[in-house]
C-alpha cells in the first residue's frame, strides 16, 4: 500500500476513534475487521500512526485552534493535520508530499506550520501544553510531584509501552524462556523488578511463538506481576481475586501457589474473562475456579465468610497509570471520574474485607496515579476498619520465599509503606498497592 493510502487510512481510523466513546483499541479493532484487505504491515503502520496522534492531539489541537484558527472549523482537515504533526516529529519530510495531497495544503505551508509547532513545543513552559496532558490532571499531579519530576512523569506517559512477558515459573525459568524465544528470533531483556519479567525488543507476534503456545509465558506488564507477588499467597491456601478482569493476576496467583490450594476469580462482567479458560489450560493450571456470575459469588461468600486466606482487590479505577497503552484515556478522564471511582473502590473494600480470616491478608491495588484512588483510599479504609492494620510493602517483600532473585525489588521497596510504581521511575505502567492484615 502506498504511503498516501496508509496516511488516508490512518486519518480515517483516527477520526473514527474521536467520534466513538469506546476505548480506542475497540474502535480500531472494528475498523480493521471491516477492512480485511489491509495486511499486517498496513495495520501496524496505521495503529502506530493513530496512537502517536492520540498521544499528542491535545497539544496539536491547541496549536491549530490558536495559531491556525481559520482551519479549526474543518474537522476533517484538523484530523489530517493532527496526524501529520504527530508523524512529522518522527518522519520529517518523508510524509510532506502525500499529506499535502490529503489536505490540499501546499508542501511549503505544511513545512512552515510543522516548524512553528515543533519550535513552540520545544520552548513551551506550561507542562500540560508541552506534554499534551489535561490541565486538571496536571494540577492534581503537581500536588504529588515537584516540577522536574512531574515533567519526567508526563513525558514517560507519552512513550510507547514495552511488550512485557511473564515466564510461567511452573514450566520454565526466565533464563530458559529467554533462550527459547531467542531461538524463535524474539529478542528480550530482563525486567528490572519482577523476577519473571522479560521485555521484548520491539513489537513481536508473541501469540505465534511456540513458547506462548506451550504455555511458557503470558503477556503481562511488569508492574502487574509485582502486585500478585506482594500478596504472597502460600500453596494449599484459599485466595480470592475479587476483581479479576481478564485474569492475568489470577493466573499468576495460581502459579505462585504452585498449582495447589484454590484461587477463586470473580468478575462482575464475565465477558471480561475473555478466553481465560483456554489460558488456564495452556498454562497447566488446575487450582482456579471461576465465579462467573453473582449466584456463584453469593455461594462463595456464604461458604467462605471469614475464612479466606488472601484477597486481591485490583479495583476498578481511572486507569491513569496505563496512558502509555491507552492514550485516548486523556480525553475520557475527568475530575468527576476520579471521585466516582473512589466511591466504588471504598464500597468494594468494605464488601470483601469481612471474607478475610484473622491473620489473613488483603491487597488493594489500582493502575492509577491519583492519590484519591490510592493512599487516600487506604487511609480511609483503615479509619473505617479498626481490626485491620497496614503491612508495609518493604516488610512484605522480605517475607517472600520463592526460587528467584528478589534483590532489585527489595532494594526498590526498602523503607516503602505502599507500592507506587511509575513509568519514569520503573519502566512499567503506573501501579499502586497497599497490603492489609486482619487482626481479629
**Residues 154-172 pLDDT 10s:** 999 999 999 999 999 999 9
Its CATH class, for the domain covering 3-123, is mainly alpha
pLDDT cut 90: percent of the chain above it: 82
Residue 134 has pLDDT above 60, yes or no: yes
Predicted pLDDT of residue 88: 67
Largest CA distance in the chain: 73
Integer CA distances (angstroms), 107 to 7, 60, 97, 327, in order = 15, 18, 6, 29
d(CA 76, CA 99): 13
Tens-digit pLDDT profile for residues 7-33: 889 999 999 999 999 999 999 999 999
Q: What is the pLDDT of residue 75?
A: 63
Residue 70 in this model has a pLDDT that exceeds 90: no
Q: What is the mean pLDDT of residues 230-244?
A: 97
Give yes or no for residue 440 having a pLDDT over 90: no
Q: Is residue 357 a contact partner of residue 438, using CB atoms and an 8 Å limit?
A: yes
- Residue 290: beta bridge partners? 265
> CA triplet 373, 292, 302: central angle to 5 degrees?
85
CATH architecture assignment, domain 221-438: 3-Layer(aba) Sandwich (3.40)
Q: What is the pLDDT of residue 303?
A: 96
Give phi and psi for 227, each to the nearest 5.
-55, -50
The yes-or-no verdict on residue 71 having pLDDT over 70 is no
List the end-to-end C-alpha distance of the chain, in Å, as a whole number: 66
Say yes or no to pLDDT of 421 above 80: yes
**pLDDT tops 90 at residue 55:** yes
Which H or E run contains 431?
strand 431-438
pLDDT of amino acid 119: 87
Q: How confident is the model at residue 4 (pLDDT cuts 50, 70, 90)?
A: confident
Average pLDDT (107-116) is: 82
Q: What is the pLDDT of residue 50?
A: 94
**For residues 96-113, average pLDDT:** 77
Written as one string, the DSSP assignment of 301-369 is HHHHTTTEEEEEEE-----GGGTTT-TTHHHH--HHHHHHHHHHHHHHHHHHGGGEEEEEEEEEEES--
pLDDT, mean over the chain: 93
Going by C-alpha positions, the residue among 162, 163, 190 that lies closest to residue 176 is: 190
Mean pLDDT of 405-413: 96
Is 72 a residue whose pLDDT tops 70? no
pTM of the model: 0.94
Question: What SS3 state is found at 36?
Answer: coil
How far from the centroid of its chain's Cα atoms is residue 102's Cα?
Answer: 34
Q: What is the pLDDT of residue 107?
A: 78
Query: For the residues 55-68, what does the mean pLDDT come to?
Result: 86
Domain edges within the chain: 3-123, 221-438
Same fold, 3-123 and 221-438: no
pLDDT value of residue 108? 82
Between 83 and 73, the higher pLDDT residue: 83
pLDDT tens for 339-356 read 999 999 999 999 999 999
Q: Which cell numbers hold the place of 323?
A: 496512558
Which cell numbers hold the place of 230? 506482594
Amino acid at each position: 500500500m502506498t504511503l498516501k493510502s496508509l496516511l488516508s487510512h490512518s486519518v480515517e481510523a483516527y477520526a473514527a476513534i474521536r467520534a466513538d466513546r469506546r476505548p480506542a483499541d475497540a474502535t480500531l479493532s472494528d475498523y480493521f475487521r471491516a477492512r480485511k484487505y489491509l495486511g499486517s504491515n498496513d495495520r501496524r503502520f496505521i495503529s502506530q500512526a493513530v496512537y502517536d496522534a492520540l498521544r499528542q492531539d491535545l497539544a496539536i489541537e491547541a496549536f491549530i485552534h490558536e495559531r491556525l484558527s481559520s482551519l479549526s472549523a474543518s474537522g476533517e482537515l484538523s484530523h489530517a493535520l493532527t496526524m501529520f504533526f504527530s508523524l512529522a516529529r518522527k518522519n520529517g519530510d518523508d510524509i510532506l508530499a502525500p499529506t499535502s495531497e490529503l489536505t490540499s495544503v501546499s508542501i511549503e505551508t505544511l513545512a512552515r506550520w510543522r516548524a512553528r509547532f515543533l519550535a513552540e513545543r520545544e520552548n513551551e513552559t506550561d507542562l500540560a501544553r508541552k506534554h499534551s496532558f489535561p490541565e486538571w490532571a496536571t494540577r492534581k499531579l503537581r500536588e504529588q510531584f515537584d516540577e522536574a519530576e512531574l515533567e519526567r512523569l508526563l513525558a514517560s506517559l507519552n512513550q510507547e509501552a514495552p511488550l512485557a512477558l511473564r515466564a510461567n515459573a511452573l514450566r520454565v525459568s526466565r533464563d530458559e524462556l529467554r533462550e527459547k524465544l531467542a531461538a524463535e528470533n524474539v529478542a528480550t531483556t530482563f525486567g528490572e523488578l519482577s523476577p519473571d519479567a522479560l521485555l521484548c525488543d520491539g513489537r513481536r507476534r508473541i501469540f505465534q511463538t511456540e513458547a506462548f503456545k506451550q504455555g511458557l509465558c503470558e503477556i503481562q506488564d511488569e508492574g502487574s506481576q509485582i502486585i500478585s507477588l506482594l500478596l504472597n499467597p502460600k500453596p494449599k491456601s484459599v485466595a480470592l481475586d475479587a476483581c479479576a478482569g481478564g485474569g492475568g493476576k489470577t493466573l499468576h496467583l495460581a502459579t505462585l501457589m504452585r498449582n495447589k490450594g484454590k484461587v477463586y476469580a470473580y468478575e462482575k462482567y464475565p465477558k471480561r474473562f475473555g478466553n481465560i479458560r483456554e489460558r488456564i489450560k495452556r498454562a497447566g493450571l488446575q487450582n482456579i475456579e471461576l465465579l462467573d456470575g453473582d449466584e456463584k459469588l453469593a455461594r462463595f461468600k456464604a461458604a467462605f465468610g471469614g475464612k479466606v486466606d488472601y484477597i486481591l482487590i485490583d479495583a476498578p479505577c481511572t486507569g491513569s497509570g496505563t496512558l502509555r497503552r491507552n492514550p485516548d484515556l486523556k480525553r475520557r478522564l475527568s475530575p468527576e471520574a476520579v471521585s466516582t471511582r473512589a466511591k466504588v473502590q471504598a464500597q468494594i473494600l468494605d464488601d470483601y474485607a469481612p471474607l478475610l480470616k484473622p491473620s489473613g491478608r488483603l491487597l488493594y491495588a489500582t493502575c492509577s496515579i491519583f492519590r484519591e484512588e490510592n493512599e487516600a483510599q487506604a487511609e480511609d479504609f483503615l479509619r473505617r476498619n479498626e481490626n485491620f492494620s497496614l503491612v508495609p510493602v518493604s516488610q512484605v517483600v522480605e517475607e517472600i520465599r520463592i526460587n528467584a532473585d528478589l534483590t532489585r525489588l527489595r532494594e526498590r521497596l526498602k523503607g516503602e509503606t505502599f507500592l507506587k510504581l511509575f513509568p519514569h521511575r520503573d519502566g512499567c505502567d503506573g501501579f499502586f498497592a497497599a497490603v492489609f492484615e486482619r487482626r481479629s
